[in-house]
Amino acid sequence: MRARWSLAFQVVLLSILLVSGCGGSGGGGVGTVPFSIAASTPADGSADANVSQTIVITFTRKTDLATVTPQSMRLERSDGSVVPTQIIAQDFNSANVRLDPIADLVVNEVYRVRIGASVLSEEGQSLGRDHLVCFLIASPTPAIRPDQVLDLGDALNVPRFHARGLRAPDGRFFLFGGHRDTDVATDTIEVYDPATRTFRLLDARMQSPRAEHTATLLSTGKILLAGGVAAAGGAPLSTTDLFDPAHETCGPGPALNQARHWHGASNRQGTASVLLAGGYDADGEMMETLEYLDGNRFVLFPEPLAEPSAEQTLIRFDYDQVYCTASNFSQVASIFDGAHVDRSFSVDIRFRAAWAQVDLDRWMVAGGNTRSILFLDADGPNRHMAGVLMAERRGAHSLTLRSRGTQSDFYLAAGGFNIGIVGAPSLSSAELIEYVRNAGPNARGDAVIHRLTGFSLPVPFAGHVGFTELTGSTVLAGGVGEADPGPHSRRVVVILNDANTPPISCGG
């Protein structure tokens, strides 16, 4: 957030010169007027105001207080309705006027003070025109404001559910495949343009439609697309594609030894190789095998996973150490070190989890049809559960970085399926996970959950792709809007971070 303000009833006077009002009908215009506003508390356009009892308007000249009335100066909501206030004259030669709301103002709502031209100075001069001063009441805890949510509508070129997205070395973000409305997968690829917030459909196509596949960045800069299914409930694929983001071309890659979908994938340290693990086979059974790319062919690893797993996440630590989440009912994870596979008891079952690297040698795994959060350290890896639970059980959700700080970072867990509810509905809710450094066991870091009360996504999202723009805003794209199966979506929503949020507009 831009700042952490004190709790209600504290007011900080801000001396900000207002050249014009913040917009809307009747807003102050440019140019010199005989009698104008010098400053306001909260500041005009402020998105982090914390005012429950007092708004202060400072004029450039002494004020004829007889002209300051509920008709000439009033507090309004963004829809124009009047908020009852008491008007109290201040000192400083009557240059300040204070408005005290009768009741506390509402968090995350835009308010504006309308000051009419009928307000006069002691010399009888008018403001010359109406002025508007607008602000938004900030939440005392981290929050996402309604004005930060941009619903771009059906901005994808092709509906996508369980597509895969990946950022190329040059920073561009690509979307690969996914199910269409008919549950038949697509072979198309799109790239995101952050300047226009649009997706462009590429001429390049995969050799086969794919969904429930993996996309992995290789050290060559190319992206390996592996396995998946061509239609919902169909047989898994053993084919792969190699996509070259530099030239936006796509060609066939080496075949897998075993067809698989809903498997995990990870690149291998410093090599043009990739490790694939688990998934579902043609009979719908969980697989225990691993295979890796060796030159131009895939080779089966001689050891199996500790337990058959599917819908899992692979997280690569230093060198060739890869952690495979416990995506099985035995709650058993696997650790691959390049030579062996070791067993690791994970405490929780995780299907379709989301993860983020929170420090140089630490990873956070959130959800996976559960509310728990797991921290993994590269040196071991040591593991511990966060001391808190997420507000919702989430699987097939997104986890994106919102902001980084010295003491803590914020991550947005958005959407997903909640299998704890009958029908496993997709969710329109989101919550902020604050990763607090130097907290928790051994002071290695822990999490704090911030429920986003009063916030919801424009539509439910699950099985979507979520990523962070290079500017820090969050993009959610595709997915499904109802319980699986349901209509697949071309919907795109952008959630602005504080730095990219425009000033509050008096027009609401």
Distance CA 301, CA 192 (A): 36
Residue pair 481/130 in contact by the 8 Å Cβ criterion: no
Residue pair 266/317 in contact by the 8 Å Cβ criterion: no
Give every CB contact of residue 26 below 8 A, 6+ residues apart in sequence: 114, 129, 130, 132
Give every CB contact of residue 111 below 8 A, 6+ residues apart in sequence: 75, 76, 77, 78, 83, 105, 134, 135, 136, 137
Going by their DSSP bridges, the two strands 474-477 and 465-468 should be labelled as antiparallel
Residue 90: pLDDT band (50, 70, 90) is low
Convert the pLDDT of each residue in 362-416 to its tens digit. 999 999 999 999 999 887 666 788 989 999 999 999 999 999 998 999 999 999 9
Burial (CB count <10 Å: 0-12, 13-18, 19+), residue 500: middle
Q: How far is CA 473 from the centre of its chain?
A: 7
DSSP 228-275: -BSBTT-PBP--EEEEETTTTEEEE-PPPSS--BS-EEEE-TTSS-EE
What are the domain boundaries of the chain? 37-140, 142-156+352-508
Structure tokens at 96: 């300040």
Length of the chain: 508
The position carrying tokens 């790239």 is: 191
Kindly report the average pLDDT of the chain as a whole number: 87
Q: Which of 224, 229, 103, 180 is nearest to 488 (CA)?
A: 180
Structure tokens at 207: 């050799």
- The residue-averaged pLDDT of 436-458 equals 87
% residues pLDDT > 70 (the chain): 89
Distance CA 331, CA 348 (A): 5
Q: Tell me which architecture the domain covering 37-140 has in CATH.
A: Sandwich (2.60)
Lowest mean pLDDT among 96-110, 244-258, 362-376: 96-110
Tell me the pTM. Answer: 0.84
Structure tokens at 415: 């959407």
Q: How far is CA 233 from CA 236, 262, 348, in A?
A: 9, 12, 27
**pLDDT at position 206, please?**
98
Helices (H) and strands (E) in the chain, counts: 0, 37
**pLDDT at position 483, please?**
46
**pLDDT at position 353, please?**
96
The position carrying tokens 């959700």 is: 397
Convert the pLDDT of each residue in 184-219 to its tens digit. 999 999 999 999 999 999 999 999 999 999 999 999
Q: Which amino acid is at 364?
A: M
The position carrying tokens 């919550």 is: 431
Residue pair 299/306 in contact by the 8 Å Cβ criterion: no
- For the cut 80, the answer to whether the pLDDT of residue 299 exceeds it is yes
